[in-house]
Amino acid sequence: MREAATPRTRGRARPGRLRRGERMVVMAHRLLSHPYQLFSLSTFMELLGAAKSTISEDLGFLRQAFDRFQLGKVETLAGAAGGVRYLPQMSRDQIRALVEELCRRLRDTARVLPGGFLQTTDLISTPHFAAGMGQTFATLLGEPRPDVVLTMEVKGIPVALETARAFNVPMVTIRREGRITEGPSVSVNYVSGSSRMVQTMTLPLRAIPPGAKVVFIDDFLRGGGTARGVFDLVREFRAELVGIGVLIETAVPKEKMADRYLSLIVYEGVNEHGEVLVYPSRHV
């Protein structure tokens, strides 16, 4: 004799069987947690106990939702070695809104430091902003996808880490002096674009494999000496520097020691009225 449906049992999924909404939540979480990683359909078939046709249909709905709400791109690759992956891309409007908000906060005159620098540590260290900057750099520097993200110690680390997370690749920190615990290292001398002093940057010998594609992320660029030094350092590893991303560049000097870099914000200094002159760069 069949048990009559009650308000507490009516509409409940059978044990071991998931609704479409539940399957899509699990797939979205897995994809978002592993950007750029290719998952075969069989992975989700086994995980969710569903047929290939069902998973394919669910992914179609998921792709439409991500496109509609500008959450990034869910990409399906055909063929025996195909599958599905998530690319953390931001729209131009989203990037512009983030940069405008950063500029608004940077216009606080209390942020101006001796030497013409801006105090940015609180913004860079705020997870919401750091994640947004990382996804922005991953969107604007996405082709070709790097194998390693480099940054200088210490201030650029949060943004570089979020950029590495968006690309799903390792982050490596360049130090100004070697450490015994890191083993053999490679060092290069470079001329600081701001102080015009000769400085040294060091990277462990095993940090970058030969032939790797590298992206360098930093918080501030004035003369471009550091970026130029990174170019020389990467060359010592027989790797390729495929992109440079900086949060803020100064308007002066106009000619930098490095080229092919991408900035989010331009800083012109403080005018006669005490206003901090910052605005979105031409890249956004």
Please tell me whether residues 43 and 182 are part of one structural domain: no
- Tokens 């249909």 belong to which residue? 57
3-state secondary structure the chain: CCCCCCCCCCCCCCCCCCCHHHHHHHHHHHHHHCCCCCECHHHHHHHHCCCHHHHHHHHHHHHHHHHHCCCCEEEEECCCCCEEEEECCCCHHHHHHHHHHHHHHHCCHHHECCCCCECCHHHHCCHHHHHHHHHHHHHHCCCCCCCEEEEECCCCHHHHHHHHHHHCCCEEEEECCCCHHHCCEEEEEEECCCCCCEEEEEEECCCCCCCCEEEEEEEEECCCHHHHHHHHHHHHCCCEEEEEEEEEEECCCCCCCCCCEEEEEEEEEECCCCCEEEEECCCC
Same domain, 82 and 96: no
129/74 same-domain check: no
What total number of domains does the chain contain?
Answer: 2
- CATH number, residue 33: 1.10.10.10
151 neighbors 174 (Cβ within 8 angstroms):
yes
Within a domain: 119: yes
Per-residue pLDDT of the chain (284 residues; tens, 9 = 90+): 444 554 454 544 444 689 999 999 999 999 999 999 999 999 999 999 999 999 999 999 999 999 999 999 999 998 777 899 999 999 999 999 999 999 999 999 999 988 778 899 999 999 999 999 999 999 999 889 999 999 998 889 999 999 999 999 999 999 987 666 667 889 998 887 666 788 899 999 889 999 999 999 999 999 999 999 999 999 999 999 999 999 999 999 888 888 889 999 999 999 988 899 999 999 99
Q: How many other C-beta atoms lie within 10 A of the C-beta of residue 45?
A: 15
Q: Other CB atoms closer than 10 Å to residue 66's CB: what's the count?
A: 20
Q: Which two tokens mark 91?
A: 């729209």
Query: Which residues, 6 or more positions from 67, have their beta carbon under 8 angstroms from its beta carbon?
Result: 73
Q: How far is it, in rounded angstroms, from Cα 71 to Cα 83?
A: 19
Last residue of one domain, picked from the residues 87, 114, 142 = 87
Residue 13 in any domain: the answer is: no
Query: Are 106 and 242 in a shared domain?
Result: yes
Report the DSSP pairing between strands 148-152 and 171-174: parallel
Looking up residue 120, the CATH number of its domain turns out to be 3.40.50.2020
Residue 130 sits in the same domain as residue 220: yes
Examine the domain organization and report whether 35 and 96 are in the same domain.
no
pLDDT computed for residue 153 by the predictor: 87
Of 87, 111, 137, the residue that ends a domain is 87
* 115 plus 253 within the same structural domain: yes
pLDDT of residue 13: 43
pLDDT score for 176: 82
User: What are phi and psi for residue 87, nearest 5 degrees?
Assistant: -115, 120
